[in-house]
Amino acid sequence: MINRRRLLATSGALLALAACRTKLDETQEMLARAKTLIARQPSFDLHAHPGRTFLRGAENLSLSLKALSLGGANEEQAIADMQAGGMQCAVFSAVSDLQVLELGRGGLSASRNFKAGEAFASYRTQIDHLNKLFDAGLAEKIISPDDVYSISAKQSTKALLGVEGGDFLEGSILRVEEAYADGVRCITPVHYRHNEIGDTMTAEAVHQGISQAGVSVIKAMNKAGIIIDIAHASEQTALGMLEASEAPVFCSHAHIRTDALDAPRFISQDLAKQIAQAGGVIGAWPAGIGISDLNGFIDRVFELIDIVGIDHVGLGTDMDANYKPVWDNYRQFPEVVAGLLSRGLSEVDAAKVIGGNGIRVFRAVAQS
Ligand SMILES: [Zn+2]
């Protein structure tokens, strides 16, 4: 009897060990598949601040923002992480309203107005510092969709210049052209501050939609070939941008509101569907709101796919300046892709999410 019991216990333990091994093998196999996919398909992070370049040369920031910026700027590390994880290309974003941002209990908001010339001076400083990354050979600057595909001998990291917040434009279409000349290819017209273009989603509306100057700016962005990123805009302003734009748009880092999950930065399912109907893409955002790990993030990616379809979902990591990130290092990129594959996403569909959809929109914007 004792022998039989011992035998059963031993075989049970062996079975558990075998199951554990199989699970481990499966995880390893999935990671290997993810890495192969990443090596073969272009990847494109729709919104990021790798290494927090926006902090360089920034003076007179609010104390709360300074406290948030612990660690300062370190692009070299971020780009090394991008290369290690296989993230090929990202929108490297300046932050247009940086000078006036403050962190309160309700999150970030604009605490004051800009002084004359301050927003544009801040833009210049940030763009100059971003351009230095290219001069230093840390990354290659993307100015056309074909650049995403051109793999240089060094397999270097590719950066598309973006500006989060259209505050520096001050409602001027000439500034849109100037930004294009600087190499900027993506602008988020509204960030945390109500500006000349429209309302932010995180403060009570003042414009009740897009302004007249905003419509002109959107049309000028279409004409120049700059991607319009409607993330952060109030629903009414976002709908106004969609209506004014002839080209598809980004909503670079967001999530949809559901019965279970709501937050000021989430968009309505209706807006998400309209972005998709206009051919755009929504970047799934790995912020720890209602989720606490990568698995939760993968859930939310699938939730987004269910609502807007596989052709309209991308990744918008907000890396190195994200709110409670559940994905905080590009080295985890293969884990994200493995998560998508292991939950049944085909390799063709995973390729769309990690870059294909974003590149399609970039191409449509450049050609419109
Ligand atoms: Zn951002």
Q: Of 236, 176, 171, 169, which Cα lies nearest the Cα of 200?
A: 236
Q: How far is the CA of 49 from the centre of ligand 1 (A)?
A: 7
Residue-level pLDDT at 67: 79
Distance from residue 316's CA to the centre of ligand 1 (Å): 9
Q: Which residues contact 11 (CB under 8 A, 6 or more apart)?
A: none
Q: Distance between CA atoms of 129 and 125, rounded to whole angstroms?
A: 6
CA of 28 to the centre of ligand 1 (A): 32
Question: Got the DSSP string for 265-315?
Answer: T-B-HHHHHHHHHTT-EEEE--B-SS--SHHHHHHHHHHHHHHH-GGGEEE
Residue 320 has pLDDT above 80, yes or no: yes
Give 252 Cα–ligand 1 centroid separation in angstroms. 9
In this structure, the strands spanning 281-284 and 89-95 are: unpaired
- Checking if the pLDDT of 153 tops 50, the result is no
Is-contact 256 269, C-beta < 8 A? yes
Report how far ligand 1's centroid is from the alpha carbon of 92 (Å).
9
| pTM of the predicted structure, to 2 decimals | 0.93
pLDDT digits (tens, 9 = 90+) for 73-121: 999 999 999 999 999 999 999 999 999 999 887 788 988 999 999 999 9
- How far apart are the CA of 319 and the centre of ligand 1, in A? 8
At 56, the pLDDT band (50, 70, 90 cuts) reads very high
- State the distance from the centre of ligand 1 to the C-alpha of 231, rounded, in angstroms: 9
Calculate how far, in angstroms, residue 344's C-alpha sits from the geometric centre of ligand 1: 30
Rounded CA-CA distance 185/197 in Å is 18
**Centroid of ligand 1 to alpha carbon of 253 (angstroms):** 8
